[in-house]
Structure 1
Amino acid sequence: MIRFDRFVVVDWSGGNDTGPKPRKDAIWLCEHGAEPEYLRNRVVAEDRLRALIDDAQALGQRLLIGFDFPFGYPAGFARALTGQDDPFAVWDWVERNLDDTPKGNNRFALADRINAQFSGVGPFWFNALKQDFTHLPRKDTRTGHGMSEHRACDAMAKGAFTCWQMGGAGAVGGQVFTGLAVLNRLRSEMQVAVWPFQKLDAPVAFVEIWPGLINSSVKSAEALGGIRDAHQVRLLARALSALPPARLAEMLDVNAPEEGWILGLGFEDELNAAAGLRPPPLRNDCFALPAGVDWTPVDDALAMLRDRLHTVVGQQDVALTDARGRVLAADLLAKRANPPHPNTAVDGYGFAHAAMADGDNVLPLVQGRSAAGVPYDGKVPEGHAIRVLTGADLPDGVDTVVLDEDCTADGAQVAFRGGLRRGANTRKAGEDMAVGQVAIPAGTKLRPPELALAASVGHGTVPVFERLRVAVLSTGDELVEAGAQAGAGQIYDANRPMLCSLAEAWGYEAVDMGRAPDDRDALRAILDDAATKADVILTSGGASAGDEDHMSALLREAGAMQEWRIALKPGRPLALGMWNGVPVFGLPGNPVAAFVCSLIFARPAMSALSGAGWVTPEGFDVPAAFTKRKKPGRREYLRARLRNGKAEVFASEGSGRVSGLSWAEGLVELGDEAADIAEGDLVRFIPYGSFGL
């Protein structure tokens, strides 16, 4: 199997020297693990490529370099130009005949010279110079040249340009001429194999790539700012380096001996996944408690989590129709003003305010009307009016509208009383949202209102964070699947369906890892599996320090376990740690305690991990419909509901009473200090809805 040690991607340019300042539409190069490099012209680029190849060979490393221009032309071109079917014959011909300097080259003259050898007109077209060429049309007026418009791979690659176009936005014809000349010198002077024309048995491989295959990843990165070309080379180098060798070998298994091929074509989803923007992982010691800390107050525990957690998921672009519940990864700027043009807010008649008298007004009507989507094509003379319908663009010469109900019209004139202010019953262009304004800030969870706003300002897709994957695992020999036959001493696993449901209610992908027995090796295997499938692991049971508490024992063995003894009721032990780089939240095994700890700790923590930022539930004060004497030292959460404007609490505070979770509609939060609560005293009630349920 072919393996490479280093991966480099080059975004080529056929234009002139672009100066010392990094800019778009220039040459950019990036080796995976390094920052993108700006190369101002092809002389600099060729020197840099030689240095890279020399360095790799000196170190005995295998180097793959991808270039974003076609290595070949449609079948038949090589023979028509050189008399051979060999693509390298074309490379040799181009290198011999191209005159290229940092200040200019003869690529258009070369295309004219080639076209002269073909019948009809073409196959090359576009001329950006003032000088005319006999055989190179400025516009695509080609005919009868006998060549296919696309290579087989270009026809498959959505959005790929034909190699015959010599200039213009997105064109690659000039890049091919200037690029092949450089590559031909390098391959003839150094130990290089060119894919797919040669067996890759040399230390260096040249391959053809196309950043369009990872366009969704590039667009997400571009939304954060910077130069698109730099993002392209960085992300594609990352993607190629991240591919398993077997998968890369599969991508390289191509038979295209004359036309060439685009590496990764047909594997776009995998390339985008490998290129995805992923933040750095959490540190293994991120849950470490300060020295001497034993019992931790709830607010202190929450503050430590808030300070230590960050987004762990990558980014992607999704269509608006698939974006509900997703978290916006970058500020969404208005592409178009809303409204895009001044329009009318009502059905009525529009006119110029300057023509209105103080008393009764009678204005002649122009023929026609302005309706939503069908604007009036013309100017309304001053002193005239026109029929306008709600949402219609205001015609030129109209700045004020009178309501249908406030006027009389006979088809030739309209009569109404004066006194309207200038701009009455109209909307200004951009009064809701101006072009370039932040319509929706990054970190927003997209609801139907945000999707409507995104659509109204011109977005069909939005950059979002990948959905957080939450692996849910229950532990303990005493557990059996709900609905199964329970033996002596066994109980049904209530936590897993509850926690999976919570994860999905919060917009995450629940990954059900099942139940783990009280066997350390079995639990280790399940955790290993969960770490490959999820971004966070949520477990229940085994979080204390007993003989059968294997979860906490395994996390300690991994050197990333912290038992947070939270001053909280219900719930006390919270095992936090890292497993193969994935954060683990070890919840109590009791369903009530697991539920409360999920709402209070796991929900804001997972929100931070998902890119939505830290969330704090909103509560409000209501009179108590109960009495209670509370001891100091622990914060308490009582299952509660509102009836007649007062907070009732469940009859039993026992954490084994699962029915209380269903009975309740929220939680009453009692502070850390002692309290003596009488009926009618104000208590803080947090409805389930404030926890995202």
Structure 2
Amino acid sequence: MARLFDAYVIAIWTAAEGKKTGEQSLWIGVAKRDVRMRLKTESHNAATRAEGEAMLATILGDLAKRGDRALIGFDFPLGWPRGTAERLKLSGEPWAAMSKFVASNVVDKADNTNNRYQVAAKINRLMTDEAWPMWGAPARQAQRWLSSTKPPHPADIPEMRETDRRARVGKIQPKGQWQMHGAGATGGLALVGQPMVRRLLERLGSSGAAWPFGTGWRALTAEDVAPLSALVVEAWPAMVPSSPEPGEFKDQASVVAAAEHFARLDDKGELAALFAPPKDIDDDTRAAVETEEGWILGVR
């Protein structure tokens, strides 16, 4: 069976508001094959999101020159819980509408300063005119429409996406996307990460796509990905066991291990099936995942 991809890129992003390298910073892991088709890995560390975005563009440019088709995984949600776009009164296909909304509201400067808490407050104001569903601001960022502590969650707004409910590593489960701050929170990451993905896809044009929004939620074939130079997915590197070598950082080891993991699955012809939904998914959930929520690659 032909491999779907030639290279595998996994990024652990950051919502930091200052420059930082080393642990708990932005890491990119790359697994690619040499001229003898042996898998080689490398890792890259960036002090800011702007540096990381430029670094990623260079990596993808180099892979394109080699003629390599790349799988690109990011560790933050690419979509939102079902109904978010509707509550915000956005028109059009929900995922595309949310992508445009977030990108047009988030200001993320080269030094990592950004307005993600103000955008979270705006989302709350437009969705409920209360300090929910988004929450978890540092005390200095708390305001009328954004609280530091978790408020009562409105019953008519899903607290988590379906993929987050199903994802688990031991006793660890992804936190609901509405949480902005704190260990494991993904709300802030989504707000600063999604505009970067939008810019990436705009640069790739017809040679890029995001799964499952641009491909459908189904097992992919070599013919499906043949027109692409890169396919963007949501990944959770913690699903792949990793152990840092001496002098290596935890996140550094994690992105490399995840990139190698997808490469090995592709070698064995087992990667394609991960793009299909679990067998117990109903039609309504499938439609929500394909058009708004997205899915973490590998979650069953």
**TM exceeding 0.5:** yes
1:42-100 residue CA offsets vs partner (Å, 9 max, x unmatched):
11111111112222222222011110011111111122222344212111111111111
- Counterpart of 2:228, as a letter, is A
Aligned pairs for 1:451-466 within 5 A: none
- Separation (CA, whole Å) in 2 of partners of 1:261 and 1:212: 15
Which position in structure 1 is the counterpart of 2:179? Answer: 165
- Separation (CA, whole Å) in 2 of partners of 1:179 and 1:223: 28
Which position in structure 2 is the counterpart of 1:265? Answer: 299
- Separation (CA, whole Å) in 1 of partners of 2:233 and 2:122: 28
| Cα 1:185–1:226 shift into 2, 3 Å | same
More contact order relative to length (CA 8 Å, sep ≥ 6)? 2
| Cα 1:131–1:193 shift into 2, 3 Å | closer
- Separation (CA, whole Å) in 1 of partners of 2:189 and 2:141: 20
Contact 1:121/1:142 (CA < 8 Å) preserved in 2? no
1:179 aligns with 2:179: no
Contact 2:211/2:294 (CA < 8 Å) preserved in 1? yes
Which position in structure 1 is the counterpart of 2:24? Answer: 25
Which position in structure 2 is the counterpart of 1:133? Answer: 143
- Counterpart of 2:271, as a letter, is L
SS of aligned partner of 2:140: coil
Greater C-alpha radius of gyration: 1
SS of aligned partner of 2:29: strand
- Counterpart of 2:107, as a letter, is D
- Separation (CA, whole Å) in 2 of partners of 1:25 and 1:142: 30
SS of aligned partner of 2:72: strand
Which position in structure 2 is the counterpart of 1:212? Answer: 238
1:248 aligns with 2:248: no
Which position in structure 2 is the counterpart of 1:97? Answer: 105
1:42 aligns with 2:49: yes
1:380-414 residue CA offsets vs partner (Å, 9 max, x unmatched):
xxxxxxxxxxxxxxxxxxxxxxxxxxxxxxxxxxx
Which position in structure 1 is the counterpart of 2:248? Answer: 226
- Separation (CA, whole Å) in 2 of partners of 1:41 and 1:202: 28
- Counterpart of 1:153, as a letter, is T
SS of aligned partner of 2:14: coil
- Separation (CA, whole Å) in 2 of partners of 1:143 and 1:117: 16
Contact 1:125/1:142 (CA < 8 Å) preserved in 2? no
Which position in structure 2 is the counterpart of 1:196? Answer: 212
1:505-551 residue CA offsets vs partner (Å, 9 max, x unmatched):
xxxxxxxxxxxxxxxxxxxxxxxxxxxxxxxxxxxxxxxxxxxxxxx
Which position in structure 2 is the counterpart of 1:124? Answer: 134
Aligned with residue 77 of structure 1, among 72, 80, 84? 84
Unaligned runs of 5+ residues in structure 2 are 32-39, 216-224, 278-285
Q: Which has the higher helix share?
A: 2
Q: How many residues align?
A: 260
Which position in structure 2 is the counterpart of 1:106? Answer: 115
- Separation (CA, whole Å) in 1 of partners of 2:14 and 2:5: 26
Contact 2:131/2:144 (CA < 8 Å) preserved in 1? no
Contact 1:25/1:229 (CA < 8 Å) preserved in 2? yes
Contact 1:118/1:145 (CA < 8 Å) preserved in 2? no
- Separation (CA, whole Å) in 1 of partners of 2:266 and 2:3: 11
- Separation (CA, whole Å) in 2 of partners of 1:177 and 1:157: 21
- Separation (CA, whole Å) in 2 of partners of 1:142 and 1:122: 8
| Cα 1:121–1:144 shift into 2, 3 Å | farther
Contact 1:123/1:164 (CA < 8 Å) preserved in 2? yes
Which position in structure 2 is the counterpart of 1:542? Answer: none
- Counterpart of 1:226, as a letter, is E
Contact 2:73/2:233 (CA < 8 Å) preserved in 1? yes
- Counterpart of 2:232, as a letter, is F
- Counterpart of 1:72, as a letter, is G
Contact 1:30/1:36 (CA < 8 Å) preserved in 2? yes
TM-score by length of 1: 0.36
Which position in structure 2 is the counterpart of 1:54? Answer: 61
Contact 1:76/1:85 (CA < 8 Å) preserved in 2? no
1:580-637 residue CA offsets vs partner (Å, 9 max, x unmatched):
xxxxxxxxxxxxxxxxxxxxxxxxxxxxxxxxxxxxxxxxxxxxxxxxxxxxxxxxxx
1:320-359 residue CA offsets vs partner (Å, 9 max, x unmatched):
xxxxxxxxxxxxxxxxxxxxxxxxxxxxxxxxxxxxxxxx
Aligned pairs for 1:571-582 within 5 A: none
1:201-243 residue CA offsets vs partner (Å, 9 max, x unmatched):
42111010002312xx22xx14866321111101001101111
RMSD of aligned C-alpha atoms?
Answer: 1.9
Which position in structure 1 is the counterpart of 2:15? Answer: 14
* C-alpha deviation, 1:18, in angstroms: 2.7
TM-score by length of 2: 0.81
Aligned pairs for 1:502-513 within 5 A: none
Aligned with residue 152 of structure 1, among 162, 187, 190? 162
Q: Which has the higher strand share?
A: 1
Which position in structure 1 is the counterpart of 2:219? Answer: none
Aligned pairs for 1:293-332 within 5 A: none
- Counterpart of 2:274, as a letter, is M
Contact 1:121/1:144 (CA < 8 Å) preserved in 2? no
- Counterpart of 1:104, as a letter, is T
* C-alpha deviation, 1:145, in angstroms: 6.6
- Separation (CA, whole Å) in 2 of partners of 1:67 and 1:145: 30
Which position in structure 1 is the counterpart of 2:37? Answer: none
1:458-517 residue CA offsets vs partner (Å, 9 max, x unmatched):
xxxxxxxxxxxxxxxxxxxxxxxxxxxxxxxxxxxxxxxxxxxxxxxxxxxxxxxxxxxx
Contact 1:207/1:263 (CA < 8 Å) preserved in 2? yes
1:104-127 residue CA offsets vs partner (Å, 9 max, x unmatched):
100000000010012354110011
- Separation (CA, whole Å) in 2 of partners of 1:98 and 1:14: 12
- Counterpart of 1:3, as a letter, is L
